[in-house]
């Protein structure tokens, strides 16, 4: 017979589950890959240190080892990255095969540079894909020539929304087994500027318009694409979003519920709406959405070029 | 060996949240529980070829997570906090309700063995025999842990309710 603790623990479980935010299997892959890379780099450094010592004491050394070659490839990639003046990124070391994949989960919107240096001979073709809530987008490709004197191949990719960047690598027969080093670096963000007073002013203005209709409006500035805010609703039912955008251009508003299955985050998107911004006398736009009990929704706003860091947005969630 | 072993992604999707709730009840800290469970899954992934062939891969992950929890893995960790960097920016959420706070707080006052037995029994749905095997003790010992834990929890929760009623009177 179930005792009172069955109920208590069942309640604890039911109320805690919606609050759990799984980092996701992709994040676990990233961790495991980084740990392996770190181990490889440590091993390579140890080998180089030993080789250096042997040379210093005049003992005979072998020709370039695999680890030394990796170190040279890493140096070439780092040099190319430094020349681009990009920020610190993530490096991976791999062995070229006809079909391999590198993944970079949880990338925020921005412009990234993929740098690949491949040793040995042949070619290594890379194709980049962004997987986001709305689906997958092909971001183009690049061919790297593998050579004993490695030259870095670089491609720039733009990720307009949060997502996972997948780089599929295809080595031709000549490049099979060749070592490669890939680095992903982020370009300085054009929106990495402080929020403009105009955007703050417009966000306040938009919130003020909504406050006259009741509720507690949330104001959002537009200096960063996909900037999130969250709201929680207690009871299940039909809700409406009252939204105002003040200023130039337009913004795209995305409302998403909690991600129950991290493998299918796109299922959590409840609505995506473009709201035109108006400088003079902006008016609220209304959108309805059905929400379940105790739901936390994430509202993200991405401004277009005209609205970027100028327009201000505000919204209110209220029962319909 | 299972005929059609689940993929890592399937295992993760099916069990991450449940394991986190169990560890949360043990730690009283949801974030700490999430980190420990994620670490356990990372360790499973690192040796997935072997783990996926086990009869009960989730049992392996659960055992690793609990071992990490008991060993205070996270508290001793000082460098290279990859999990923190991976974690999507934490959204602001409401705190837990008073009943949940009371239960988790009451659990925290129990000795570790009793707390573990309660969590494994009520949240991981493990039988007394399974807990006894896991803890390497006799079934009678587990029954005793559960009995004492129930009594202590009931006393603490009732005391909390009485205080609350007195305050509201």
ipTM value, please give it.
0.78
Interface contact flag, A5 B150, Cβ < 8 Å: yes
Q: Residue A117: which residues within 8 A CB-CB, separation 6 or more?
A: A73, A74, A76, A77, A80, A144, A150, A151, A152, A153, A180, A181
Interface contact flag, A106 B86, Cβ < 8 Å: yes
- Whole-number Å distance between alpha carbons of A134 and A137: 9
- Whole-number Å distance between alpha carbons of B88 and B102: 29
Check residue A263 and give its pLDDT: 44
DSSP A12-51: HHHHHGGG-----HHHHHHHHHHHHHHHHHHHHHHHHHHH
Residue of B nearest to A28 (CA): B42
Query: Which has more pLDDT, A39 or B107?
Result: B107
- Using the CB atoms, write b or e for A108-142: b if 16+ within 10 Å: ebbbbbbbbbbbbebbbbbbbbbbbbeeebebeeb
Check residue A296 and give its pLDDT: 80
What are φ and ψ of residue A208, in 5° steps? -65, -40
Tell me how close the Cα of A252 comes to any Cα of chain B, in angstroms: 20
Check residue B81 and give its pLDDT: 41
Asked if B45 has any chain A CB less than 8 Å from its own CB, the reply is yes
Q: Could you give the C-alpha distances from B71 to A42, A254, B40, B65, in angstroms and in order?
A: 27, 42, 13, 10
pLDDT band at B144 (very low <50, low <70, confident <90, very high): very high
Check residue B160 and give its pLDDT: 59
Provide the Cα torsion A61, A67, A70, A76; round to 10°. Answer: -40
Check residue B69 and give its pLDDT: 77
- Whole-number Å distance between alpha carbons of A71 and A50: 14
Interface contact flag, B100 A15, Cβ < 8 Å: yes
pLDDT band at B147 (very low <50, low <70, confident <90, very high): very high
Tell me how close the Cα of B130 comes to any Cα of chain A, in angstroms: 18
Interface contact flag, A13 B154, Cβ < 8 Å: no
Tell me how close the Cα of A19 comes to any Cα of chain B, in angstroms: 8
Q: Which strand (E) or helix (H) includes residue B60?
A: helix B57-71
Asked if B49 has any chain A CB less than 8 Å from its own CB, the reply is no
Q: Contact A314/A217 with Cβ under 8 angstroms?
A: yes
- Whole-number Å distance between alpha carbons of A22 and A106: 12
What is the three-class DSSP state of A168?
A: strand
Interface contact flag, A21 B87, Cβ < 8 Å: yes
Check residue B72 and give its pLDDT: 61
What is the three-class DSSP state of B24?
A: helix
Q: Contact A163/A95 with Cβ under 8 angstroms?
A: no
Query: Whose CA is closest to A242, among A180, A289, A200?
Result: A289
Residues in A lying within 8 Å of B, measured between beta carbons: 3-6, 8-9, 11-13, 15-17, 19-25, 27-32, 34-35, 105-106, 228, 230, 232, 261-263, 296, 298
Average pLDDT score over chain B:
78
Taking 50 as the threshold, does the pLDDT of residue B158 lie above it? yes
Q: Residue A236: which residues within 8 A CB-CB, separation 6 or more?
A: A291, A292, A293, A295
- Identity of the residue in B20, B41, B104 whose CB atom sits nearest the CB atom of A20: B20
Lowest mean pLDDT among A63-67, B46-50, B55-59: A63-67
Please identify every stretch of chain A with a pLDDT value under 70, giving residue numbers as ranges.
1-3, 38-70, 81-98, 175-177, 187-193, 259-268
Tell me how close the Cα of A28 comes to any Cα of chain B, in angstroms: 5
Q: Identify the residue among B18, B31, B93, B120 best suited for mutation to test binding to A, counting A beta carbons within 10 A and taking the highest.
A: B93
Mean pLDDT of B19-46: 88
């Amino acid at each position: 017979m179930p005792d009172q603790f069955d109920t208590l623990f069942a309640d604890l479980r039911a109320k805690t589950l919606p609050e759990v935010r799984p980092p996701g299997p992709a994040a676990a892959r990233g961790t495991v890959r980084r740990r392996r890379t770190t181990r490889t780099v440590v091993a390579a450094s140890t080998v180089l240190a030993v080789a250096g010592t042997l040379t210093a004491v005049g003992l005979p050394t072998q020709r370039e080892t695999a680890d030394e070659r990796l170190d040279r490839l890493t140096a070439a990639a780092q040099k190319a990255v430094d020349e681009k003046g990009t920020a610190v990124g993530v490096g991976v070391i791999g062995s070229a095969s006809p079909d391999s994949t590198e993944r970079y989960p949880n990338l925020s919107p921005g412009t990234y540079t993929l740098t690949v240096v491949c040793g040995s001979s042949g070619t290594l073709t890379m194709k980049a894909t962004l997987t986001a809530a709305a689906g997958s987008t092909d971001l183009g490709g690049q061919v790297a020539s593998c050579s004993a004197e490695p030259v870095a191949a670089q491609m720039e990719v733009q990720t307009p929304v949060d997502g996972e960047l997948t780089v599929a690598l295809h080595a031709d027969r000549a490049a099979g087994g060749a070592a490669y080093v890939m680095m992903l670096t982020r370009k300085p963000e054009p929106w990495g500027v402080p929020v403009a007073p105009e955007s703050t002013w417009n966000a306040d203005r938009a919130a003020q318009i909504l406050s006259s209709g009741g509720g507690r409006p949330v104001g959002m500035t537009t200096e960063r694409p996909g900037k999130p805010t969250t709201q929680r609703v207690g009871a299940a039912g039909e809700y409406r979003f009252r939204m105002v955008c003040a200023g130039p251009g337009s913004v795209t508003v995305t409302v998403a519920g909690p991600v129950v299955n991290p493998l299918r985050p796109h299922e959590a998107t409840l609505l995506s709406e473009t709201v035109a911004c108006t400088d003079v006398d902006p008016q609220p736009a209304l959108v309805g959405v059905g929400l379940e009990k105790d739901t936390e929704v994430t509202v993200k706003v991405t401004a277009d070029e005209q609205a970027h860091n100028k327009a201000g947005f505000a919204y209110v969630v209220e029962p319909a | 060996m299972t005929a059609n072993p689940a993929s890592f992604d399937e295992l993760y999707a099916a069990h991450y949240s449940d394991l986190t709730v169990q560890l949360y009840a043990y730690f009283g800290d949801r974030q700490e529980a999430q980190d420990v469970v994620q670490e356990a899954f990372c360790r499973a992934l690192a040796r997935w070829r072997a783990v996926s062939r086990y009869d009960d891969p989730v049992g392996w992950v659960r055992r690793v997570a609990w071992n990490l929890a008991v060993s205070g893995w996270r508290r001793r960790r000082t460098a290279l906090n990859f999990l923190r960097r991976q974690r999507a920016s934490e959204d602001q959420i409401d705190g837990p309700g008073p009943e949940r706070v009371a239960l988790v707080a009451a659990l925290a006052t129990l000795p570790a063995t009793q707390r573990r037995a309660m969590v494994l029994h009520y949240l991981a749905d493990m039988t007394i025999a399974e807990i006894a095997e896991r803890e390497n003790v006799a079934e009678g010992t587990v029954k005793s842990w559960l009995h004492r834990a129930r009594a202590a929890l009931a006393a603490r929760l009732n005391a909390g309710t009485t205080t609350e009623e007195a305050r509201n009177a």
